[in-house]
Structure 1
Amino acid sequence: MIKRLHIRNYAIIEHLDIDFAKGLTIITGETGAGKSILLGALGLIMGDRADTKSLYNQEEKCVIEGIFDLNGQDLSEFFAENDLDNETEVVVRRELTPSGKSRAFVNDSPVTLKVLQDLSAELIDLHQQFDTLDIHNLSFQLRMIDALAGNKERLLQYRNVYKEFSANQRRLDELLRRNEQSTKEMDFIQFQLEEFNKAELVAGELEALEEEHTRLTHAEDIKRTLGLAFDALTENEQSIVGQMQSLGNALITIGKYAPKLAEYSDRFANMIFELREMSNEFEKVAEHTEYDPERIQEVQQRLDLIYRLLKKHTVVTVEDLLAIQTNLEQQLAGFADLGNEIGALREKISTQQEQLYRWADELGDRRQAVIPDYEQKVVDMLTQLAMPYAQLKIETKKLEALSPTGLDEIQFMFAANRGSRLQQIKDVASGGELSRLALVTKSLVASSIPLPTLIFDEIDSGISGDVALKMGNILRQLSNEHQVVTITHSPQVASKADRHYFVFKVDKPDRTVTNVRLLSNEDRIRAIAVMLSQSPPSDSALENAKELLGL
């Protein structure tokens, strides 16, 4: 419930504090005194759009602050979702600067207007005479029936699964779209992969093939040159190794006379050994080197294949091609996984859908069970409020597909007068009739809807006398379970207050401002008497006021 409303620098309010309590709070005042301004200020902390034109002093910021007691109301999930401190007392503040900048806070944490709107929807039900009233709204009508049917927990369970079900359906649609689009892509990837698989590429083979190709195409030159080198080194009569051997022997001889020359003799011997080894290698290579046109063709074909793949995929190494092949394999595996995911998701959606249909039928049965009694009670109460021919019929229609609330569409059909055709509420009810209907419908479900505070703005418009008195009794009864705040022009309604505030204007030298004061019992007598007659009130009006107040 709301405990206090603080207003500073708003419209014609310079500074104002109003304390609220449990039960029924009535706000009255002269026409134009600023009662609607209080609701405008309240609307700001409920997330309404702000306008710098509403600043009392254009040089200072406007501050609207509401303090709410959440005792007995669990909003822990809301606070957790919005990263807010979960306190039993919540301070909601809205600030508007002269530059037009608007800021909102919940327990001093900055929040968006959307958060304010969502929070206020949990705290306050604001009924304004000239608003598009929520009773017109089909979803609100269904909400009232669900409240009467005790569907809260079942509906929460249904919505949680429906939310996941809807997300799964969107995911399935996306997967099917991707699967359809990817068929051609998958065929192309399969074609490329088959080309790679046939190629059987091996890391490092390009360099080896190029080297082999060069060697094979120059085999005759290699064989001839190595043969000449072998012959020159060791085979002919004047071989290089033979000559060096003779020189080596001579070095050994003179080494006897000059010991320092012995190391040259050793080095020379090593050179002869290396040349002999080299000659042997030349011989072996020359013997195994043959011109092989068939092998040259095989190597050239293999190189052509690799070069073509390199050009096709715009890379430079076989390793790059192997990486592309691996990527294609992974993509193809991904398509296979997509098919598996589609199958699993379809099965899950089917299970959820079956469960949701079963729950939706249960919700519908419970709704149908409470509708007849609710219709009759509304008609009975409207009869008490001088609408003896009023009719209310709640039509239900089965939807073709599951919705967030099940399979039911509920619509209130209303007729205010004898012989009138039942129509949608927005098409038939006048202001006064709509006010009475809204009060009756809400009062009958008040104990089932978790709204701690109900605010009615001129809900008694268009009624008076005994009807207004009965409306006051309904508001009074409603306040036994909810905090009710009512702005009224009706003395009969005002007489039912637990706390009565009077809104009035004060003329200052430079401008007029709005103020509010809590009325004492004596003040209430006079205020209600004025509402009954005139100012100053007549003696009979004062007596009537006392009678209304039970004094």
Structure 2
Amino acid sequence: MIKRLHISNYAIIEELTLDFADGLSIITGETGAGKSIVLGALNLILGGRADTKTLFDETEKCIIEGRFDIAAYDLRRFFEANDLDYEAELIIRREITPSGKSRAFVNDTPANLKVLQQLGATLIDLHQQFDTLYINNSDFQLELLDALAGQLAAVKTYRKDYQLLQETRRKLRALREEQAQAVREQEFLEFQVNELEAANLQANEQEDLEAERHRLSNADEIKQLTSGAFHFLSEGDDAVTDRLLAITVKLQPLAAGDPQLRAISERFESLRLELDEVAADLEAFGEETDVNPQRLNEIEERLNMLYRLHAKHAVADNTELIAIYENLSARLGHFSDLGGKINKLERDEKQLLKQLSEQGTALRAGREKVAPQFAGDVQKQLAELSMQNARLRVDFVPLDLPGPNGLDEVRFLFSANKGGKLQSIKDAASGGEMSRLALVTKSLVASAMELPTLIFDEIDSGVSGDVAQKMGRILTDLSRHHQVVVITHSPQVASRAHRHYFVYKTDKQDADRTITRVRELDGDERVRAIATMLSQNPPSESALKNARELIEAE
């Protein structure tokens, strides 16, 4: 609900603050005093278009600020989705600079007009003559019937399942497209996987093969070199190891009494033993090295195959090639799982369609049950509001497939005149007739569903006397469940106010200019204002008496 509206530097309003409360708030005033200007300012914080021509002082910026209590609204997700801070008290501010730049803020966070419009649609339902009212909206018409049928929770469950169906179908489309792509790719992937699998890849195989190829390619030279080295070190008449042994035999006795020479002797002995091992290793390496052209050819073929695969897959070694093989194998495995996933989703889709059909049938029954009574109640109340020939019919159009709100579309067909053709409300009702129809329909569902703050402008246009009094009673009943604000010229409607605001024009002190002000009326002031609406200014004694009777009437 709206708690406060502050307007600064807008049209003929220099500065004005309106504090609203629960129940029915009435705004009255002379023609041209600025009542519609207040609504224009309110429309700005609901996302309406801005215009610098509306600035009271063209050198200063215009500020419109609204405070709302939104604790009863489920808006946390909306605030999170739009990266806005959520507070139970919402502040929307709109600024228009003299240069024409417009800025909007939600709880002091900059916001675009789309956000304001979405918030405004939730918080304020503004009815002005010739507006396209919610009553024209098919979704609202269904919600209205569902509220009367007491099945809003069932509708919420249906919509949740409907969204799940849409998500299931989205996944199905994606998997089917992937499967179609897989059919085209699978043969090529299988060829690549089979080729890599046949290669029987080993992580360090390339390095080992390259070393073995090098040895086999130089086998003759290796055998010749290792044999000659071994002969030189260990087998010749003047073998190096024999000469070193002779030196060791002579050195050890001399080193026994000299620590420094003993250390050198020990190092010399280690060198001799190491040289013996080197000679033995050279002999063994030469004996193990075979001249094997067949094996060399096998290695060359294997390496050529590996080099080709490396180049084909743009990798440097077998480790990367093995990773590619594992990835391709996984993709093939995923493709093989697609059929199973598709089958499961198709079963889910079938089950959801069955659930939606059952739920939609139940929703249809509830709507069809309350529709005739609702149409009759609308016609009865409209007749009391001087629309005796008004007719309303609720038609249901079955859908081929479950829709977001059920198995049907709803159409409210209306005629305001005797013998008139039933047609859509927007084509059949004038501005005043639309306003009265909106008032009646919303009063009928006021206790059954949540509604935003309802603001009616000139809803009583063209009615007076007993009809206006009945309209006032309907507004009072509606305000027991929702916040209602009414701009009116009718004393009968104004008399029903829980809070009565009077908008008037006055000359600004020290300036040759007229400005709009507002004050809340109470007690005798309120009686006098309503009496003036009944007669003239100043009002007669009979008008004052009549005004008191209207205010005191139940």
Residues 332-356 of structure 1, C-alpha deviations (whole Å, 9 max, x = no match): 3443455544444333333333222
Does residue 439 of structure 2 align to residue 439 of structure 1?
Answer: yes
Does residue 485 of structure 2 align to residue 489 of structure 1?
Answer: no
Does residue 205 of structure 2 align to residue 205 of structure 1?
Answer: yes
SS in 1 for 2:446: helix
SS in 1 for 2:302: helix
State the identity %: 49
Does residue 513 of structure 2 align to residue 511 of structure 1?
Answer: yes
> Hey, what does 2:124 align to over in structure 1?
124
For residues 442 and 521 of structure 1, what CA distance do their matches in structure 2 show?
31
> Hey, what does 2:18 align to over in structure 1?
18
1:273: Cα distance to partner?
Answer: 6.1
1:49: Cα distance to partner?
Answer: 4.4
Give the total of aligned pairs.
Answer: 544
**Structure 1 residues 1-80: aligned runs within 5 Å:** 1-68=1-68, 73=72, 75=74
SS in 2 for 1:31: coil
Question: Tell me, which stretches of 5 or more residues in structure 2 are unaligned?
Answer: none
**Structure 1 residues 65-464: aligned runs within 5 Å:** 65-68=65-68, 73=72, 75=74, 81=80, 84=85, 87=88, 90-98=89-97, 100-106=101-107, 116-232=116-232, 239-241=237-239, 245=242, 249=246, 278=278, 280-451=280-451, 453-464=453-464
Q: Which amino acid aligns with 1:170?
A: R
After TM superposition, the score normalised by the length of structure 1 is 0.86
Worse-superposed segment, 478-487 or 222-231: 222-231
SS in 1 for 2:126: strand
- Please tell me whether the aligned partners of residues 127 and 456 of structure 1 are also in contact (alpha carbons under 8 angstroms): yes
SS in 1 for 2:506: strand
- Please tell me whether the aligned partners of residues 255 and 265 of structure 2 are also in contact (alpha carbons under 8 angstroms): no
- Please tell me whether the aligned partners of residues 52 and 97 of structure 1 are also in contact (alpha carbons under 8 angstroms): yes
Cα–Cα, structure 1 residues 471 and 296, in superposed 2: closer, same or farther, change >3 Å? Answer: same
For residues 24 and 249 of structure 1, what CA distance do their matches in structure 2 show?
125
Question: Tell me, which stretches of 5 or more residues in structure 1 are unaligned?
Answer: none
For residues 472 and 189 of structure 1, what CA distance do their matches in structure 2 show?
77
Worse-superposed segment, 539-548 or 377-386: 539-548
Residues 412-464 of structure 1, C-alpha deviations (whole Å, 9 max, x = no match): 00112222221111112122222222222222122222226321111122334
Cα–Cα, structure 1 residues 533 and 245, in superposed 2: closer, same or farther, change >3 Å? Answer: closer
Q: Which amino acid aligns with 1:7?
A: I
Across the aligned residues of Structure 1 and Structure 2, the Cα RMSD in angstroms comes to 3.6
1:367: Cα distance to partner?
Answer: 0.7
- Please tell me whether the aligned partners of residues 357 and 402 of structure 1 are also in contact (alpha carbons under 8 angstroms): yes
For residues 283 and 543 of structure 1, what CA distance do their matches in structure 2 show?
135
1:519: Cα distance to partner?
Answer: 3.2
- Please tell me whether the aligned partners of residues 234 and 241 of structure 2 are also in contact (alpha carbons under 8 angstroms): no
Residues 446-490 of structure 1, C-alpha deviations (whole Å, 9 max, x = no match): 222222632111112233444333323322333333332211223
For residues 47 and 394 of structure 2, what CA distance do their matches in structure 1 show?
32
Worse-superposed segment, 246-255 or 4-13: 246-255
Q: Which amino acid aligns with 1:105?
A: V
For residues 474 and 262 of structure 1, what CA distance do their matches in structure 2 show?
123
For residues 139 and 157 of structure 1, what CA distance do their matches in structure 2 show?
16
Worse-superposed segment, 166-175 or 296-305: 166-175
After TM superposition, the score normalised by the length of structure 2 is 0.85
Q: Which amino acid aligns with 1:173?
A: R
For residues 244 and 454 of structure 1, what CA distance do their matches in structure 2 show?
113
For residues 265 and 442 of structure 2, what CA distance do their matches in structure 1 show?
122
For residues 197 and 467 of structure 2, what CA distance do their matches in structure 1 show?
90
SS in 2 for 1:28: strand
- Please tell me whether the aligned partners of residues 63 and 93 of structure 1 are also in contact (alpha carbons under 8 angstroms): no
Cα–Cα, structure 1 residues 513 and 251, in superposed 2: closer, same or farther, change >3 Å? Answer: closer
Q: Which amino acid aligns with 1:326?
A: E
For residues 162 and 387 of structure 1, what CA distance do their matches in structure 2 show?
40
SS in 2 for 1:57: coil
Residues 115-151 of structure 1, C-alpha deviations (whole Å, 9 max, x = no match): 5545544443321213222211112211211111112
SS in 1 for 2:33: coil
For residues 319 and 251 of structure 2, what CA distance do their matches in structure 1 show?
61
1:307: Cα distance to partner?
Answer: 0.9
1:493: Cα distance to partner?
Answer: 2.7
For residues 267 and 546 of structure 2, what CA distance do their matches in structure 1 show?
141
- Please tell me whether the aligned partners of residues 252 and 262 of structure 1 are also in contact (alpha carbons under 8 angstroms): no
For residues 125 and 255 of structure 2, what CA distance do their matches in structure 1 show?
123
For residues 156 and 210 of structure 1, what CA distance do their matches in structure 2 show?
71
